[in-house]
Structure 1
């Protein structure tokens, strides 16, 4: 592919957009929440313990209830996950991640709609998804779609 002045302009605009995203409040909140978690040694140990427990959980899932440690591992993974979920720093990180993802979804939709109204943009939030596709449940909903695709 040949580099043209159009591509150079697009790359410049991408850099501007990247700078805007990185200077957003959502990005700052995400960084702050991430730093709060990974500066807490006890919480990092708890997360690492949970990761090790997840590996055991994956092994148990291969055999299901026939695995000899099925009950023990299932109970302990649930309690470890619950303990992490109720941690204020972890929940703050999850909220910050969701806010940041919403920002990225909005930007993707704006870029997609700039190209064409027919562009399908995958988004994680159903609110944005409803705006970006057929309002009757989608074209794959068994023929009930009323959009003019």
Structure 2
């Protein structure tokens, strides 16, 4: 299994953004207003994954005295969660970016678009936090034998 490539996630986000932007252009007048904390859950998940990744990395790499080693199945499950989360985060980043591309130019003229711009910006930022946390978790689950000197995201 290989590390998730950020360029693949970017491609998914870009295609999603284009499709969502087209859909929003056709249906924006019938959409309800977006609540400001609509995307915050993604950011919370991203932070949680980054914290879990840091804990796993310390246990895998440094084997603190008194801590049990990480079971291979636990690490495999963490990688599975990380890969799924990074893809979900990329899709949601595309959704928020597609929405933001539609409402941001109209924010000065339309009150609803101004409020939706803020919600979309928060959602986009939180989706990017999820992608970052997931990539960090995936990178942290590598064994010391996998070290080739590369950094996350290369």
TM-score by length of 2: 0.31
Is the helix fraction higher in 1 or 2?
A: 2
Q: Which of the two has higher C-alpha Rg?
A: 1
Q: TM-score, normalised by structure 1?
A: 0.31
